Amino acid sequence: MKIVLTGAPGSGKTTLIDALRDLGEQTVPEAAIDVIQALVRELGLAEQDEWRRGDPLGFQQRIYRHQTELEAVLDPSRRSFLDRGTLDGLAYLTMFNTQAPESFKVELAAHHYDHIFFVEPLVLDELDLRQASGRNDSEEEAAKLVELLQAVYRDNGYRIHRIPPLPIAERIQFVLDLANRLELETAPR
């Protein structure tokens, strides 16, 4: 079972993924962070930001390639939690007024996920957008992404399960309880 944790930047997805990994769950880190770090090494901090803003499609294509590499090594017999899914790229492209070629939309949508967990944003003035890592999301963009991400998954036929902004220990338990329940509901009888 592949479960995507999606949501606005700074909503706590990575904290959840790290905690789930520490509990022995199979996880996939956020591909965009790896790509950004590679770009920082390649171009420098300011230059990578300029390149990303200037070529949002190229950036999302790099993320997609890395995401598919990360997903390809998952053990299909184990449940996995992913820090974002391939469709997140469409939301980002929409936010940056960039039209994805139809062929890229088809590629992004070809990845099947069993469940989408939308991690609801924390209080905006408590957001940690990790901009020192090279990310360049603003609070306004984070708020806009809340709607765009939900729309892109709904438009592709997914039901969204909401993860409320609870204290971390409660949030982890909420995610595990929901995943366990969904696993039981979909298990062959």
CATH 3.30.70.1710 for domain 2-186, yes or no, is no
- Residue 155 burial class via C-beta count within 10 angstroms: exposed 0-12, middle 13-18, buried 19 and up: exposed
Q: What is the pLDDT of residues 66-110, one digit of tens each?
A: 999 999 999 999 999 999 999 999 999 999 999 999 999 888 888
| Residue range 32-46, pLDDT digits in tens | 999 999 999 999 998
Q: Average pLDDT, stretch 165-189?
A: 93
Segment 6-12 mean pLDDT: 91
- Do 32 and 130 form a contact (C-beta atoms < 8 A)? no
Residue pair 49/131 in contact (Cβ under 8 Å)? The answer is no
Partners of 5 in beta bridges: 83, 117
Instruction: Report residue 134 CA to chain centroid gap.
Output: 17
Question: Which residue stretches of the chain are H helix?
Answer: 13-22, 31-43, 45-54, 56-72, 88-95, 102-109, 139-155, 168-186
Whether residue 100 contacts residue 60, with contact meaning beta carbons closer than 8 Å, is answered with yes
Which pLDDT belongs to residue 123? 65
Pick the closest to residue 64 from 95, 104, 6 (CA basis): 104
Model confidence at 13: pLDDT above 70 = yes
Residues 107-150: tens digit of each pLDDT: 888 889 999 999 998 764 554 555 554 455 677 888 889 999 99
pTM of the model: 0.88
Kind and range of the H or E element at 80? strand 80-83
Interval 59-74: pLDDT, tens:
999 999 999 999 999 9
Question: Residue 143, Cβ neighbours under 10 Å: how many?
Answer: 13
The answer, yes or no, to whether residue 52 has pLDDT greater than 60, is yes
The predicted pLDDT at position 187 comes to 76
